[in-house]
Chain A
Amino acid sequence: MTEHPGKPESSSDTSDYPGTPRWVTIFGIVVLVLILVVVVIMATGVGGEHGPRRHMSSGGAAEHVASVAGVEQS
């Protein structure tokens, strides 16, 4: 962040709000798509477990991590 904003972004005092800049719209669309992808991955379980359970996928690791982390195994 520099010290001050540059020149005013419009030369006219009477004009209306010019609308949302194109880069903000594109940025918003990209973020929405990424959020949807994450939601789908979590809903379908494709990405596996989240949290400590992710590290309890097999054998002895499951019991040990669960006991230390205080997580109940299903």
Chain B
Amino acid sequence: MAPGLRKLVLTVHLASSLGWIGAVVAYLVLGVSAVTSYDAQTVRGAWIAMELTGWSAIVPLALGSLLTGLVMALGTSWGLFRHYWVLISLVLTVFCAVILLLHMPTVSSLADAAREADRTVLSRLGGDLLHPGVGLLVLLVITGLNVYKPRGLTPYGWRKQREQRTASQA
């Protein structure tokens, strides 16, 4: 990958990945307010905003982060399966994206319910803390792996490295 293009993809990757974390924090704040508020309008507004935040911010940022991460890994000498930190980051990112896409229809259903619900129903609707809470934790682990890049080659990465050294010595 050309240096200019690599910098561009890296910039988009960092922006979408950190944006994903920020959007999940915003979603979590809304989820907490839906759980803790005694005001029906606040609960209704929180659920509607959670649906909007999910579909309009979290999902696009998650897909953008996954896509640019794949491009960065495959377009540079890091590779996708050569280093454990890259491989684990990929698995955790795919896991988060799949859970997100499976969970969002439920959020939409509950937001639809909140739009039409009366005060009594809204007071019992609750919030959504488990999914964004666990998701945020996993995203922070991925961020840590990407910053520290702990050493460790996979057997495939080890074999590729030896092949490259042999080729360069020949």
On A, residues with C-beta under 8 Å from B are: 1-5, 8-10, 13, 17-18, 20-21, 23-24, 27, 51-52, 54-55, 57-61, 64-65, 68-71
Knowing A9-B151, A23-B150 touch, does A60 contact B120 (C-beta < 8 A)? yes
Which of B21-29, B50-58, B70-78 is found at the contact surface with chain A? B70-78
Knowing A68-B113, A69-B110 touch, does A13 contact B162 (C-beta < 8 A)? yes
Q: Are B109 and A70 in contact (CB under 8 A)?
A: yes
CB distance from B102 to the nearest CB of A (A): 10
Contact size class for B?
35 or more
Q: Are A58 and B124 in contact (CB under 8 A)?
A: yes
**Chain A contacts for B166, CB-based, 8 A:** 13
**Chain B contacts for A61, CB-based, 8 A:** 117, 120-121, 124-125
On B, residues with C-beta under 8 Å from A are: 3, 6, 10, 13, 69, 72-73, 76-78, 83-84, 86, 88, 106, 109-110, 112-113, 116-118, 120-121, 124-126, 146, 149-153, 155, 158-159, 161-162, 165-166, 169
How many inter-chain contacts with C-beta < 8 Å in the A-B complex?
92
**Chain B contacts for A4, CB-based, 8 A:** 76-78
